[in-house]
């Protein structure tokens, strides 16, 4: 399946967001995720099915003042 991850085209065989994050090296990282612009909460990543052409954004929280 063809996806866009943080603006980069990727090809994957994974079918859900949790598996994609694991495959891409995010594993247990504390990140925020969105699929096609809609927030994808961590508790629903295993249930969030991906489709060909989806755009996924993964953002790590930043600290600062």
Mean pLDDT score, 37-62: 95
Domain map of the chain by residue range? 2-59
Instruction: Please say if the pLDDT value at position 33 is more than 90.
Output: yes
Q: Which CATH number does 2-59 carry?
A: 3.10.20.30
pLDDT at 65: 60
pLDDT at 25: 95
Q: Let me know: does 9 contact 60? Beta carbons within 8 Å.
A: no
d(C-alpha 1, C-alpha 30), whole Å: 25
């Amino acid at each position: 399946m063809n996806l866009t991850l943080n603006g980069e085209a990727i090809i994957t065989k994974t079918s859900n967001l949790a598996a994609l994050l694991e495959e891409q090296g995010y594993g247990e990282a504390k990140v925020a995720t969105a699929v096609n612009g809609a927030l994808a909460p961590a508790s629903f990543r295993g249930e969030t099915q991906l489709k060909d052409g989806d755009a996924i954004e993964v953002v790590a929280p930043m600290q600062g003042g």
